[in-house]
Each structure stands twice: as C-alpha cells, then as structure tokens.
Amino acid sequence: MQGFDCSGLVYYSHARAGLHAPRTVAEQKSSAIPLRAAELRPGDLVFFDTDYKGGHVGIFVGDGRFIHAPSSGGWVRLDRLDAPYWRRHFSIGGRIPR
C-alpha cells in the first residue's frame, strides 16, 4: 500500500508550498517554534503524544480542525482538536520557520 504517514504528509505539503520541513515527527517537532493551542494559525503543526514512533503530527487548518494521515498508506482525513482522543494526546503546536 502506498501513501503518506503523518510526517510525510507534512513534508510533502510544505514542499508543495515551497517550504522546507524535516522528514520525521521528532525532527519536525524539534525544529518548530513552540505554540500553545490558542496561538495556532492555519498551516501550523499540531503534535500529539502517542505510542506510535515518537508521536503524531497534523496540519492545523483553522476552526479547531486539523488534517493528518492516521496511518501509513491510510486515508488523509480531517479531525477536531477537541475530539476526546486528540484532546487527551495533544502535546504542543508548532510553526516551522520560513
């Protein structure tokens, strides 16, 4: 099965916008400018503490929603930050320096 994992979606999306993002969740998180949830703007990253390979990342789109690839080769989908699972695992927001 081909497709994106979460950090691959971020990497690809940033590249399409002419920006550079590191490839892994850990590298994306460490290079991002930290943000609280209230500071997020569309295009910022949202990081989650999960049991999967150092965490999970998505792209904030506004109105409390984010897009992400929940599994390698799975469907890219839109979810809410205030959904019980994501609210419980939210770690920090981040902005990749331009």
59-89 residue pLDDT tens: 999 999 999 998 777 789 999 999 999 999 9
Per the annotation, the verdict on 89 as an active-site residue is no
Q: Where are the domains of the chain?
A: 6-95
Residue keyed to tokens 């999970």: 56
The token duo for 20 is: 């550079």
The pLDDT confidence band at residue 1, using thresholds 50, 70 and 90, is very low
Q: Determine which one of 14, 20, 68, 89 is catalytic.
A: 68
Supply angle C-alpha 50, 8, 46, rounded to 5.
45
Q: Determine which one of 14, 20, 56, 89 is catalytic.
A: 56
pLDDT value, residue 2:
67
> Using a CB cutoff of 8 Å and minimum separation of 24, what contacts does 18-23 make?
19/96, 19/98, 20/96, 21/96
Domain covering 6-95, topology: endopeptidase fold (from Nostoc punctiforme) (3.90.1720)
Amino acid at 9: L
Per the annotation, the verdict on 20 as an active-site residue is no
